[in-house]
Each structure stands twice: as structure tokens, then as C-alpha cells.
């Protein structure tokens, strides 16, 4: 049992299901594949951000905040779920949409997560760059100062790497949930596969598993930056988590496994491997993946199987981190 001495707002339907993907396992003719359904966390159509937001909203409540501020890509799942979490906690929400993806068409700008942001009544701001985390966070602070001047009590959710990864605590907890589920069903999972973007989910799972004595391999599939840049980001988050939880560091450098073969052409841009993975999961299991995170992480998992890094006798757990609303903003990528 790991003590997590941080305030938490209950936002997530947990435990989420853990299911065997019998049809997909047969189609790939490789290892036995299972899926952790964190697309079923409940909040605002589900996704991994519900677990992360529990700790941010817990801190915001502790500070008596009445407004949440967050930044993300135009089709950000995090932004959509933060707006919903704010509403659930009777708070206002200001969201900042960054230009991370070079798309200006109406479908991308108005459908998917953006539509849900508007229905949630979030105040929407724009930030003209997409790879300027420090600048985006600084702009949130300027917006927060404006709100304070008007009498509001804002709480800023910073997503740059310079601060404590509060959201990763949600996946330290989720790691225990996974270990309990596979122990009850006697499923000896050898490999876990998860999208690695901000690194919070990846670092939280890896830290939580190692702190509980699990040697399960955790593969992060890069969806925003290459493996070299992502490795330091995940390692740094793991070090910070150990300090936050007042435990000895439990994650070694060799524990941080990353694959970036399915990253190109870049964040938020589909490739053929991701489109194939999305169709495979839908046609064989009736489960939808998203175009930014889980489509690419499923493609990465298939690549690891095809390349032999995950062998035919393995038992693999694929973490579905949600994001399905973004599919509607990418409808033109899947033909008529």
C-alpha cells in the first residue's frame, strides 16, 4: 500500500474494466492481449485525464479556487475533461488552445473535443504556438492575474515539465488497481503498453508498479516527441514522484522503455499504421481508439510484436487512455 498524502476530488469511475482481446490476439497471431479500459472512467466521455484531474481538482478545492485554467492542443482531451471536472466541482473554466497541429479546416476547429468544450461553457482562449510549454503556462498565469483582478480565485493546471507532476499520482494509484485485477484473475502480464505524451500516465504507472514490487515491462509509445527527448521527461517525472511520495527512487534508467516508430509525421497527425490500428480494434473488438494517442500507441504495440520486442508467449496489457471524441474531428481521414 502506497500512502498518497495529497487532496483528491472523486471524478473517476474506478476500477475500470480489464478485458481480454480474444479476436485481436488471434488476428495478430502473437501474444495474448488484454486491455485496461480507461476510456470508461466516466467523466465527460471518459479517458485517463479523469484520474489525473482528481489530484489537481483536489488541490484547487483545498485552495478554495472557483476557476480552473488549463492549456492544450485544439483537440485536447485534457482540456475537455478539465472543463467537465471544473463544472462537476461547481467551478468556472478557462481553456487555452495551442496551435500544435497545422490544420485550419472547419472540421478540426469545430468538431470533436472543441464542440464539447463549447457545450461545457468554457471560456476559450488561443495561443499561437504549439511547442512552447513555458510560454503557454506563462500565458495562463497572465490570464489568472486578470481573473484575480476581477475578484476570482483561479487555480492554474500547469502542463510544462518544471513542476511537480500531481496528475501522475492518479496512475500511481491505477498501477495498484491493475495489479489487484490481474492477481484476482491469475493473469501474469509481462508487458504493459501505454501512450507517452506528457509522460504523466507513463511515469505514474511505472512508478506505481515498481513501488509495489512488479517487474512488468512498461512500454511508452511516443506520440509527441522522440524517444530520446521523452526518456528524460519520464525519468524526471519518476524522480519527482518518489520525492513527492517520500519513498526511495524505484525506477531505474533501464526501466524507461520507449518506442517512437509510429510517431511520424508528428503530434496529432495520423499515419497509415495508426489508421490501420484504429480499424483493427474497431473491426475485431468493437472498441474505438483515438487518432492522437491510442491509435498510435496501438500501432506501436503492433510494431513491437512484429519486431519481436514483445514475443509470442507474452501477455500484454494495452492501456486505453480514451480520447475518442477527437475521432469526429478526423473523420476526413477515414474515407466515405
Q: Which residues are catalytic?
A: 76
Rounded distance between C-alpha atoms, residue 7 and residue 17, angstroms = 25
Place of cell 484504429: 278
State the Cα–Cα distance between residues 186 and 81, nearest whole angstrom.
33
Residue 67 near residue 155, CB atoms below 8 Å: yes
Partners of 322 in the β-ladder: 47
Helix (H) or strand (E) holding 73: strand 67-73
Residue 15 neighbours by CB under 8 Å, 6+ apart: 177, 180, 181
Distance CA(32)–CA(40), nearest Å, equals 22
Cβ-count burial of 161 within 10 angstroms (0-12 exposed, 13-18 middle, 19+ buried)?
middle
- 229 neighbors 80 (Cβ within 8 angstroms): no
For 102, the grid coordinates are 497545422
Amino acid at each position: 500500500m502506497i500512502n498518497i498524502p495529497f487532496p483528491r476530488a472523486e471524478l473517476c469511475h474506478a476500477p475500470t474494466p480489464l478485458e481480454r482481446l480474444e479476436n485481436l490476439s488471434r488476428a495478430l497471431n502473437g501474444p495474448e492481449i488484454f486491455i485496461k479500459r480507461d476510456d470508461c472512467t466516466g467523466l465527460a466521455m471518459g479517458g485517463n485525464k479523469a484520474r489525473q484531474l482528481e489530484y489537481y481538482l483536489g488541490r484547487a478545492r483545498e485552495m478554495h479556487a472557483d476557476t480552473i485554467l488549463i492549456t492544450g492542443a485544439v483537440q485536447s482531451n485534457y482540456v475537455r475533461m478539465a472543463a467537465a471536472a471544473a463544472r462537476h466541482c461547481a467551478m468556472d473554466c478557462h481553456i487555452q488552445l495551442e496551435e500544435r497541429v497545422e490544420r485550419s479546416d472547419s472540421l478540426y476547429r469545430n468538431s470533436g473535443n472543441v464542440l464539447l468544450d463549447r457545450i461545457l461553457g468554457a471560456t476559450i482562449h488561443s495561443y499561437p504556438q504549439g511547442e512552447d510549454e513555458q510560454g503557454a503556462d506563462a500565458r495562463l498565469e497572465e490570464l489568472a492575474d486578470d481573473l484575480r483582478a476581477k475578484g476570482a480565485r483561479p487555480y492554474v493546471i500547469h502542463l510544462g515539465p518544471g513542476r511537480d507532476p500531481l496528475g501522475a499520482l492518479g496512475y500511481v494509484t491505477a498501477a495498484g488497481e491493475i495489479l489487484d485485477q490481474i492477481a484476482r484473475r491469475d493473469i501474469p502480464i509481462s508487458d504493459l503498453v501505454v501512450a507517452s505524451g506528457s509522460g504523466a500516465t507513463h511515469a505514474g504507472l511505472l512508478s506505481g508498479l515498481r513501488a509495489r514490487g512488479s517487474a512488468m515491462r512498461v512500454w511508452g509509445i511516443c506520440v509527441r516527441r522522440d524517444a530520446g527527448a521523452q526518456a528524460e521527461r519520464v525519468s524526471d517525472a519518476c524522480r519527482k514522484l518518489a520525492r513527492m511520495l517520500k519513498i526511495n527512487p524505484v525506477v531505474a534508467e533501464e526501466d524507461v522503455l520507449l518506442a517512437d516508430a509510429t510517431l511520424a509525421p508528428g503530434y496529432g497527425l495520423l499515419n497509415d499504421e495508426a489508421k490501420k490500428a484504429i480499424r483493427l480494434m474497431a473491426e475485431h473488438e468493437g472498441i474505438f481508439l483515438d487518432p492522437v494517442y491510442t491509435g498510435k500507441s496501438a500501432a506501436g504495440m503492433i510494431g513491437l510484436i512484429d519486431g519481436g520486442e514483445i514475443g509470442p508467449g507474452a501477455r500484454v496489457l494495452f492501456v486505453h487512455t480514451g480520447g475518442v471524441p477527437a475521432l469526429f474531428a478526423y473523420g476526413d481521414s477515414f474515407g466515405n
